[in-house]
Structures are given as C-alpha cells and as structure tokens.
Structure 1
Amino acid sequence: MFSLVSIGVISAYADKEWFEDVYTVEDGLIEWLTVLPLAVVSIACLVRIIYRRGSLSGKMIASTVFIALFSLFALGEEISWGQRIFNIQSSSFFKTYNAQQEMNLHNMVVDGVKVNKLIFSQLLTVAIAFYLLVFPWLYRKKQWVRSLANSWAVPVPRVYQIISFLLLFVLIGLCPSGKNAELLELGATTLFCLIILYPFNPIGSVSPEPEQVSAE
C-alpha cells in the first residue's frame, strides 16, 4: 500500500496528467484496490460472527454487524453502487443534486453544501483523529474504557497502525494533485482493514489480558 501511495506521489510530480488520467482514474487500479479491503472487512466480520458466536455477546455481535454494514456501505459508495459496472443511468434526482451526477450519497449537494466536504471530510477527519490518537490512550489508561471497548468488541488500533496512518497523511500532503484523495482512500481502507483483522485488544473477551494492555 505504501509503495502504491509513494508511486502516486512521485508520479504526480513527474507526470501529473498520467497520475490523474491513468493512475487514479475512475474504475482504475487504485479505486479497485480501495474497494478490496472493505470487502475483506465485511467478510471477516461475518466469519467472526459465525465461527465465534459462542464467545461473542449480543453487544459484540451488534458492533461487529455494524462494522460489516459500514464497510459494505463505504464499498457501495466507492463504486457508486455498481452504476458504471452495469451501465446504469442516473435518475433526474441524482443528476440534479449530485455533484458528479452519480448514484451515491457522498457527492450530494444540499442547499449548496457538499455532503462529501461536511460529513466525509470534516466530521470524519475529527472522528478518525479521536479514534487514532485519543481512544488508544484512554484504553490503556482507563479501566472503564477498556471494559467498555472490550464488551462491545470495538477494535483498538495498534501503535504501528497509528504510526502508519500518520505517515500516510504526511505522504498525501506531499501530493500536488487534487486527486490525492484517491491515494488517501486506498491507504485508509487498507489500514482500517488491518485494525479490524489485527486489533490491539482481544475480540471476544470481556476483559483484556494484563500483558496485552501493557505490551505496547
């Protein structure tokens, strides 16, 4: 993932037109590699529920289902719910209120406000910052946070995953193209998948092992 992001940043300087029209083109390699981790997360959550249902409480199952549905929603939005794949024409509603006239919600424009900028950029950025920087610290320091997170099977990022996210944001900031968001989406979904598959806290246990809490 970091190799692909680095190639993108370098190519944006070397040949910006190639970067935007070939490397990060709609339905191209980068977009499909962005979708893949979301599909993996959805499948992994389903498998986790099926094979570990005996050790998962109702709250854990609810949380895992939410993550699976969130990933499916993000996947669908990324490919405009298969619109270009199946050559589906947008309805008049999406042609009027969607900035790209596509069948998705993140490009909608309501009263002149872009949903993508308000929700999927600003609010999501704040949520990610809290999840990566504040939540792991609280998990290690506060017993009630550990108990709450573990009882709901909320994955806690590992240190290397947090550092990787920060490095990703630095690389994206170096990209001179407006399509650097495509690289950000690739990196973010890949790291999100890693957090879900390999969280710091034990999924399926109501209390963490002492060595896991202090390991990092």
Structure 2
Amino acid sequence: MNLLTKFEKIGYGILAVIVLLGLYLGLTNEPYFDTNFSREDGPVEWGTTIMLFSIFILSLYRLITSWSNKQNLWKIGTFIFVVLFFFAAGEEISWGQRIFGVESGEFFIENNAQGETNLHNLVVGEKKINKIVFSQLLFLVMFLYLIVCPILYRKYKWFKSLANSFAVPIVKWHHTIAFLVATVFVALNPSDRKWEVYEFAFGLTFFLIFLSPLNKEIFSTTKSD
C-alpha cells in the first residue's frame, strides 16, 4: 500500500466521521449541531477552508515546479485552479473578516445576507447567490465533472487529450461514489445548516481528487511533449 492510498483511506475515514457525526447531531441535538458543530468559524467550516486552501497550495506548487516543463494550455488550466480555490477558501472565511475584526463596507451591509465581506452570501432579488449557485449551477457542474467527465475521458481520445492539455484532474470512481454517499447522508440531516457539512465533503473529496487523480501522470515534473 503506497502513501497516497493510505492518505486516501485516512481522508475517507475523516469524511465518514464528519458526515455521520453531523447526521447524528442533526437528528438528536439540532441546536448543538447549529450553534457548535456547523456554526460560523466552527470546526466544520474551518475544515472546509483548510481543504480548499490545500488544493490551492497543491495547484500552486505544481504550477511553479513544472512551469518550465509544461505547455501553455497546461499552465492556463492549472492557474485557473490556483485562482479558483484561493478564491473559494477566502470566501469560506469571509476573507478573514471575523478573524481580524474588520467591519464590512456599506455595500455588503446592505446587500449581504450576513452583513459580511463575501460574494456568496450576496442577495440578488431576495435570493442568496449561494443558494442560486448550489441549487442550479453547482449541481450541474458536479454531475458533469463526477459522472460525465470520467466516462468521456475513458471512451474518447479527443476528450482525454483536451482534459490532459488543460491539466484537469479526472476523478476515479471511488471519488464519485464517496461523494454521492456523503450527499445522501447529508440530505438526511434535518438541520438548515447541514450544507456546511456538505461543503466540507466537497472540499475533502476534491482535495483527494486533485492529490491523486486518474490522470496523475499529467502532473509529472518531467517535460511534456
């Protein structure tokens, strides 16, 4: 058993503990789940932030160490992931606003559901951007990435070439299964704050995907053709 396999098992163990413990607390002690386990700046939210920031660090490390050996499309794809996950990690903790005690500007006080300096809690037409994204766009993206892309990657050479060219990590089937199982257990949680656990499941699963994807050879530091 290699190191990455051991790390994956540890990761899945942590995922199971957080999701099942969250479900147990949501069913038996919802006030505690809401005000402690899944609260703002609580253990689950910080876990999500750490996972997202870890993907940012991993992608940045790959970009720096392989800069001279990779083609431009690979660099562009990896750079997009660097920016995307840095932004996601920053948004998760409102860019450290609560940590450093920074007050929100007037725009965010008036248009943010929590009065915080972040985009995902902005209210548009009485709806939070976060809910719009999660209920529509993100679920579509997750379906395409976790189910459709692995099928296309294995079946069509043109898609495999495209994904590899842009450094898109392709999921292994156990990544997909783990996330779908976590989705089911999170959905059983009656608390409105269960989505904090779902975000953690997303962060941890995606860290495992980026750490050891099906096409991990594209992240070799040797010169690409």
TM-score after normalising by structure 1: 0.91
- Residue 117 of structure 1, CA deviation: 1.7
Gaps of 5+ in 2: 1-14, 221-225
CA distance in 1, matches of 2:45, 2:124: 26
Q: Percent identity?
A: 39
Gaps of 5+ in 1: 207-216
Pick the aligned partner of 2:174 from 160, 168, 172. Answer: 160
CA distance in 1, matches of 2:193, 2:187: 11
2:54 maps to 40
CA distance in 2, matches of 1:149, 1:6: 34
1:15 maps to 29
For residues 167-193 of structure 1, the C-alpha deviation after alignment (integer angstroms, 9 at most, x for no partner) is: 111111111111100100011000111
1:75 maps to 89
1:139 maps to 153
2:4 maps to none
- Residue 57 of structure 1, CA deviation: 1.1
1:60 maps to 74
When you count helix as a share of all residues, which structure comes out higher?
2
SS of residue matched to 1:204? helix
- In the alignment, is residue 106 of structure 1 matched against residue 105 of structure 2? no
Paired residue total:
206
- In the alignment, is residue 185 of structure 1 matched against residue 173 of structure 2? no
Pick the aligned partner of 2:105 from 91, 94, 106. Answer: 91
Q: Is the 8 A contact 2:62 2:219 kept in 1?
A: no
- Residue 46 of structure 1, CA deviation: 1.5
SS of residue matched to 1:200? coil
TM-score after normalising by structure 2: 0.88
CA distance in 2, matches of 1:124, 1:204: 26
Q: Is the 8 A contact 1:156 1:200 kept in 2?
A: yes
Question: Aligned partner of 1:202: which letter?
Answer: K
- Residue 112 of structure 1, CA deviation: 2.5
> What's the C-alpha RMSD, in Å, of the aligned pairs?
1.5
SS of residue matched to 2:87? helix
Q: Is the 8 A contact 1:55 1:205 kept in 2?
A: no
CA distance in 2, matches of 1:107, 1:131: 25
CA distance in 1, matches of 2:103, 2:187: 35
- Residue 204 of structure 1, CA deviation: 2.8
